[in-house]
Structures are given as structure tokens and as C-alpha cells.
Structure 1
Amino acid sequence: MDKKTSLTKADIMAMADYAKIRKDKRSAISEHKRARRVEVGPFATFYFESFETMWMQVHEMLYIEKGGEEQIAGELAAYNPLIPNGQELVATFMIEIDEPIRRARVLAGLGGIEETAFFSFSGERIAGVAEADQDRTSEEGKASSVQFVHFPFTPAQIAAFSKPDTQVILGFSHPAYSHMAVLPEAVRAALAADFA
């Protein structure tokens, strides 16, 4: 079966029906997300998106905001770009610092961090491409605490990444945040399933 790479109106449940399965769906998506989460350094966490995570996100937005039919097109436009297209991995990464003053200070020094995310494996290096919907670094050089990044792969890179037990490094080359993490094998395997 081909992987679904976009949501359509036909994928959207009636909210009354969604409400009946919401608890079970939320539990299932939490399990799905567990193998798609990678902490890099002290503050950044990558959450790799999929058709399933975006299906859930759209349904949650519709359920919470209660915008009805008029809201659906906007949610599809907002979240479809974050579903991997079969030749890429897509992540939301968050810079999470509980203490507000420290968070503001750290974010002020991380302008452009969304342009420095990368994967490294088997002699390959894949630079992340920031989601182009809006600039997430302010003119003053302050980074947003939520960023969206695409990692485009060639067929050869997909083959190398998909080999079991390949050591895959995810990191940043930002001068103020040059942290890296090795993907656990369970995460690498889960992400490899995103490729068509």
C-alpha cells in the first residue's frame, strides 16, 4: 500500500464520531510518537511527523476550536506540508526551557537555528530545510521556540538510512548550540518507514 502523503477532506471524521474514539486515538498516537522523538542537547527536542500525527493534529484542532466545515480547509493547508512526501523526513523541533527569563535569553542567541539542523550517517550529511511558510527567526535574531524542518533524501541516502543498525546522528551546527544525538535503533527504524 502506498503511504499517504496528504490529508483530504475525506480523511476528516465528523466531530461526534471523533469524540467517541478520541481517548483511544490519543493513547495510540502517544505510543506512535514515542519512537519518533529525539532530544538533542539540553533544550531541543525533535518530534518527527507522519500522516498519523498530522491526522491527529487536524482532528484535535477541529475538536477543540469547533470551527466546523469552515475550519477544515485552513487546517489541511496548515498541516499537510508537515506530512513526509516519501522522499523526506519532517520534524517539528521545540526549544523547551521552563524558566521564562532564561528561555528569552537562550532564544535571543539562537537566531537561524532552523537552518543548521542536520542528519549524518554512512558518510552522508543531510541539511535540514526550514518550513518556508514564515520566518521563524525575528529581525532581532531571536529564534522561535517552535520550528519546522524538512530533511530531503536521495534514493541512495534512503537506502543507507534504512539499513538496520546504521548509526544516525541528528544535530545542529549552530555556533551557540552545536549539540548532537545518536538516534536509538527503534527511532531509526520508525523513521525509515516514512520513506515510500
Structure 2
Amino acid sequence: MQLTGRIAPDNLMTLEAYARWRKQHKPEVIAHRKLRSVALGEHVTVQFESELTMRYQIQEMLRLEKIFEEEDIQAEIDTYTPLVPDGGNWKSTMLIEYPDVNERQRELARLIGVEDRMFVEVEGHPRVYAIADEDLERENEEKTSAVHFLRFELTGPMRDAVKAGAGVKLGCDHTNYPAHVAVGPETLASLAGDLK
């Protein structure tokens, strides 16, 4: 899978080529996703996306749905490319996970607005709160969604600090889910590669 900085129909693999590539490279993509996944407390996971994770997602959708029509391929690209970081930000999928369905319903009701209270904090700089769910609203008056899409916009000095080795915290200051964690060095090194 070739990373080009721009996902387009002409640089995706055919279904046949992807099937061959997938057999050999799926473990690498899983390892990349795991590296860029940060647990925040017991019930929230933030998966920082990349061109690789989104290319893989698009190729998987094309494979699973057997999509080969040009307009349908473009629709998949249009759905997933907004989650590719653009050099000035980190983009992520936030998953709220409660295995028990009753507990999940109760907690999602208590966590309304949690996506807007997610932040990253680059050492020596103020917190940057997530811009959440730009594609569509994912909560209502009764509960929040178990899945949110987050964008963290970083200033030039923040990006420079990360690339120079500054520590980064991921956190949430929602009343019902206060948590923060230092992003591990391997994960941070991968995330630094997203920044220009």
C-alpha cells in the first residue's frame, strides 16, 4: 500500500491486488493501529488515524462490499479521508466501551458532551480541546454516541515541540469521566510523523 499524501481512486489498489497485498501485510496494519491507540481510563480508547489506517479502511470497505464503480469508490474516499491528518493536527476515532448493555446505556447518558472535553496537552503549552463530530451530530438530549471523531489542531510551536521530543498528555475533563494519560514514546514518535 503506497502512501501518497492524497487518497484518490487512481492510487487505490484493485480488489484483486488488495486481496493479495492484504494476505501479506494485514499484521503490519494491525500493529500500526495498535501503536496509535491510546487507552484513557477503563472505558475510552482514542485511535489516532493516519493515511495508512484510512487507506486500509477504504480498501477494506471496497473489498467487503465488492465496490468497483467509480462513484461508489469516490463515496468511500469522501467518507474516510476527512480523518487523515493534514500536517497541522491529529485526527482520531474515540470509542466509549462498556461491555454490559445496561451499564453502557446508563454511562452514555451520563457522558453527554464528553467528546468536547477531550484534550491533548503538549508539554509547556496550553491544552488543545477536540473539535468533535464535524460530519454530523452524534448525541442527543438522552445520550452521547459510543463513537466520536475528534480533531486536535496544534499551533506551529506545539508541533515543533512535539517533533523536538516534548511530552504529550491525552485527557478528558468531563465531570463524569476525569482522566489523563501520558502518550507513550513509541506512539508519540508515530504521531510526530503526522506533523509538518
TM-score interval for Structure 1 and Structure 2 normalised by the shorter chain: over 0.9
Gaps of 5+ in 1: none
Gaps of 5+ in 2: none
Equivalent position of 1:87 in the other structure: 88
Provide runs of 4+ in structure 1 moved above 3 Å.
3-6
What is the TM-score with the length of structure 2 in the denominator?
0.93
Given that 1:40 and 1:180 are in contact with CA atoms closer than 8 Å, whether structure 2 keeps it comes out as yes
- How many residues matched? 192
- 1:146 Cα deviation (Å)? 0.8
Equivalent position of 1:127 in the other structure: 129
1:195 aligns with 2:195: yes
Cα RMSD, aligned residues only: 1.4
119-128 or 178-187: bigger deviation: 119-128
Matching residue's letter, 2:73: I
Given that 1:91 and 1:148 are in contact with CA atoms closer than 8 Å, whether structure 2 keeps it comes out as yes
User: How far apart in 2 are the matches of 1:84 and 1:6?
Assistant: 11
Given that 1:6 and 1:83 are in contact with CA atoms closer than 8 Å, whether structure 2 keeps it comes out as no
1:11 aligns with 2:3: no
Equivalent position of 1:136 in the other structure: 138
Given that 1:83 and 1:90 are in contact with CA atoms closer than 8 Å, whether structure 2 keeps it comes out as yes
- 1:42 Cα deviation (Å)? 1.1
1:100-153 deviation per Cα after TM superposition (whole angstroms, max 9, x unaligned):
11111111111111111101122321111113110111232x111111100001
Matching residue's letter, 2:174: H
* Percent of pairs with identical residues: 33
Matching residue's letter, 1:40: L
User: How far apart in 1 are the matches of 2:141 and 2:54?
Assistant: 30
Equivalent position of 1:77 in the other structure: 78
User: How far apart in 1 are the matches of 2:4 and 2:162?
Assistant: 21
The DSSP-based 3-state class of the residue aligned with 2:53 is helix
